[in-house]
Chains A and B, each alone.
Chain A
Amino acid sequence: MSEPGITEREWQQLYYRLERPLYNLAYRYVLQQQEAQDTVHDAFLQLWARRGRIRADTANRYLWVSVLNLSRKRRRWRRTKAFLSGAEVLLELPAPDSPESNAAAAQEHRQLHLAIDRLPEKLRGVLLLTEFAEMPHQSIAELLSIPSGTVASRRHLALKRLHAELKTD
């Protein structure tokens, strides 16, 4: 087991390796590109502030848990703000990355994101981590402090609900 302490170089390497998957996790919670990036940055700044107390081999886990928790907080705040102002929660879709992307695909994409947004938090968290964290179910189970079998069953249930919801839309 290594000593606590993360160097600037290790911090930078973690950022380059995890920026994209962490951003994608945060984006599915906050549904705004810049806010998703800010959420990832908040987690990296927290890690930097605690760099003397965290071991390099656990930094990966720390970042996933931080981004998940920060995203949940921001999502709650976004929904409260929308409720108080009476406005609809806006979904900001990234620009199409290929010329063949069309309006129908964008609509399908939007429906999928809104369906994920409507999932119960327990299912959404597991679904998004299994999508983006590129970790075995056992590691995700450790992150969430749940049994490994629960990860598989929650993912299965989440997919079933999404399928049912998208079929009725």
Chain B
Amino acid sequence: MLLIYCPYCQVERAEVEFRCGGEAHIARPSDPEKTTDEDWVEFLYMRANTKGVIAERWRHIHGCGRFFNALRDTVSDNFLTFYKTGEPMPTLETLPQEAGK
């Protein structure tokens, strides 16, 4: 079971308090009328499914109820960092060396 830090509650809690919301930073097409079928497929179904570090959404359903984002290594399942919705995705270079170890 994962230990997850909620950046809103500023507490670390067990995974069962949270719901994973899948890949983060996927924006809904802003103009549906002009969006092609291929772009809808990208938005609705295509996922990076990276073996390595991914950005994903979590929701603290049994806490504050808010969505936030996290970087996690999908091989070790270790989190690198947590950040609030709306904040830009941290780049790996800006993280401390020991993150995710």
A, B bound = no
